[in-house]
Structure 1
């Protein structure tokens, strides 16, 4: 059911309540994005023979104060990191949608945000290497999976959240 502002949803609560509801619904979209990205990664690895990356899991363990080695393959932590990041981005996507950032622009924004968040956490913790050091083609694969997550997230968020807070202020002057 789309998020619709009525006098009952805004009475005494206003924009913060609407944004919180949009974020909560967006989180559901983020979970769909995590599922789609995980599925696309499995299909891609089956086709290309590329091994699974455990960098997200090692990143999560490092953030939690643990010290995984480069040979650790923490599958549960990797899945948890993918799901947590996707859920957080889904919540943000819900806020974007309620505020009027829609469709392809939101897909692009989410894709870029996903890559920036992943790379920041992975490189800041020392779990990952900067993209410029990756083997040829790895960056393309990462972007494609981030796009899959963004499109899947958007498909759900666009059904659950209406752009009810979209403003027309500032369109003719700044």
Structure 2
């Protein structure tokens, strides 16, 4: 009779950091694309305008002169997709180290929200989330959940041990 241990086996690391970065960025781009489609569908039904907070944040990070929202689309998309790709490297590292599945995706929602809020509030662009109207908090969390689950799906599939 074999004895069962409560200590889980450590996954065998078979992925390089470079591979995690590459797959993480790819999965993050797909996650942001899915999130963006979801946002556009939601905006169609709710009438909520597009947010230019990512563009304002990148503008401040790069010390660029302030420009009106109508001239900020490129910055907005660069920050939106770039931040998603960079954040997804964390999810790829999770996948490569055996932290996979829906529970990991739920953890990653918080990580993505933390990254957004840290950058937005550090640059003085954002407001603390608990000061937002409740419906905006819910909408933001739902969109980040789409990002997290799509990103997690791809990193989990691409980086299976």
Whether these two folds match at TM > 0.5 is yes
Q: Is contact 1:23-1:93 (8 Å) kept?
A: no
| CA distance 1:17–1:101, shift in 2 (3 Å) | closer
User: 1:25 is matched with which residue: 23, 26, 37?
Assistant: 23
Q: Structure 1 residue runs of 4+, over 3 Å off? A: none
SS in 2 for 1:137: helix
Matches within 5 A, 1:125-164: 125-162=123-160, 164=161
| Coordinate RMSD, CA, aligned | 1.8
Tell me if structure 2 keeps the 8 A contact 1:19–1:98. Answer: no
Partner SS state of residue 16, structure 2: helix
| Structure 1 residue runs without a partner (length 5+) | 1-14, 165-174
Shift of 1:81: 0.8
Given that residues 15 and 96 in structure 2 are in contact (C-alpha distance below 8 angstroms), is that contact kept between their aligned partners in structure 1?
Answer: no
- Between the aligned partners of 1:133 and 1:38, the Cα distance in structure 2 is 24
Shift of 1:75: 1.4
Instruction: Give the distance between the partners of 1:31 and 1:95, measured in 2 at CA.
Output: 16
Counterparts of 1:93 and 1:86 in 2: how far apart (Å)? 11
Give yes or no for contact 2:55–2:79 (8 Å, CA) kept in 1: yes
| Conserved? CA contact 1:110–1:150, under 8 Å | yes
Deviation, 1:60, is 0.5
Q: Distance in 2 between matches of 1:61 and 1:135?
A: 25
Q: State the distance in 1 between where 2:79 and 2:43 align.
A: 19
For structure 2, the 5+ residue unaligned runs are: 1-12
User: How much has 1:78 moved relative to structure 2?
Assistant: 1.1
Q: Closer, same or farther in 2 for the Cα pair 1:98/1:17, shift >3 Å? A: closer
